[in-house]
Amino acid sequence: ALYTAKNERGSYCFFARQMAEHARLRQELKADLADALDRDQHHLVYQPIYNVQTGQLVRFEALLRWDHPQRGSVAPAEFIPLAEETGLIGALGDWVLRAACSEAALWPSDVGIAINLSPAQFRPSLPFRVADTLNKVGLRPDRLLLEITETVLLHSTAENLRFLEQLRALGVKIALDDFGTGYASLGYLKEFPFHEIKIDASFVSDDSAVAFAIVDSVTKLGHALGARVTAEGVETRQQLDRVRRIGCDKAQGFLLGRPAPAVEFPRHMQAETTLDQPWDHARARRT
C-alpha cells in the first residue's frame, strides 16, 4: 500500500508540474499576444479551393498565422482560444477581415475569399463591420464567404441567427465549417440556410468505407438542403477521385495546394490552373 501511495504521489507531482508549466506557457503567450498586432507579428496565408467538377479555382481561405519572436510560428489552434479568452479576438478578427478582403480585391473578380469567424466576433456590430470593410476595399459581397462553426450557434442562438440573417442580406455567403465534428449538426442545418457545408477533414482523409458513407450522405444531405458542399483535407489523388465521384462540389487540401503567402500565387491564378495541373509551389518559385 505504501508502495502504490508513493507511486501515485510521484505521478501526481509529475502531472501537477506539467500542468503548472502548461498554465505558465499559456499566460506567457496570452501576454505576448496582447501586443502582437501592434508589433506586426501576424500574417495571413491562403489556401486554394477548387471546384472538383469543373477544375476551376473558386476561392482561397485565409488562415491566420502568428510569428512569435522567440517561439517561432504558433498555430491558430493554440493562440485563437487565447485571443477569445482575452477579448483580443475582436481586434484580431477585424484585422483578418480587412487584410483578407483588401488582398482579395486585387484578384480576378471570379476568385473569392473565405474567412473564419470566431463565436466571440458575433456582436451586434458584426454585419456593419463587414459591410463597411467591403465598401472600403471595394469587394463585391458575394465574393466573401464567412466560415463559422457550430459553436457560433451554440451560444444565444436567436441573436446569432439574426446576425447571420443580416450578413446574408448583405449578399455575403455563409459556410458551416468542420461539419460533423460538433454536437447537433443536423439541428443547425434546420436553423439556417447555409450556402456551403464544409465536411471536416477527419472524414475526407479517412479511406475507410464508413468514412465514404458519411461523406456521401452529407453531400446528398447538403444538396437536398440547397447548399454546396466542400470536402476539406484532401491529401491524396485517391481522396480527390473519391469526393469527385461522390459529387462534392469543391475540395481543399494539401494535394491541391498548401496554405501560402499571397505573394506566391498571382502567377498561378493567371495560368488558368485546373485540378489536373495542381498548383505547384516549387515550380512557381523556380520560374
User: Which residues of this chain interact with ligand C2E, rule CB under 6 A?
Assistant: 47, 63-64, 75-77, 80, 96, 116-118, 147, 177-178, 201, 232-235, 252-254, 259
Closest to ligand C2E by CB, 182 or 259: 259
Give Cα separations from 257 to 46, 57, 60, 280 (angstroms).
9, 11, 10, 7
What single DSSP character describes residue 75? P
Q: CB 238 → ligand C2E: shortest distance, Å? A: 13
Q: CB 40 → ligand C2E: shortest distance, Å? A: 16
Closest to Mg ion by CB, 32 or 177: 177
Q: CB 76 → ligand C2E: shortest distance, Å? A: 3
Q: Which of 32, 177, 196, 249 touches Mg ion by CB under 5 A? A: 177
The yes or no reply on residue 205 touching Mg ion (CB under 5 A) is no
Q: Alpha-carbon distance 263 to 167, whole Å?
A: 29
Q: Alpha-carbon distance 22 to 26, whole Å?
A: 6
How far does Cα 36 stand from its chain's mean position? 21
Range 113-142, binding Mg ion (CB under 5 A): 116
235 binds, among ligand C2E, Mg ion, none (CB under 5 to 8 A by kind): ligand C2E
Give Cα separations from 191 to 75, 153, 160, 180 (angstroms).
32, 9, 11, 16
Q: Residue 175: in which H helix or E strand, if any?
A: strand 173-179
Closest to ligand C2E by CB, 15 or 59: 59
Q: Which of 147, 150, 196, 249 touches Mg ion by CB under 5 A? A: 147
Could you give phi then psi for residue 177, rounded to 5 degrees?
-90, 155
Question: Which residues contact Mg ion by CB under 5 A?
Answer: 116, 147, 177-178, 232
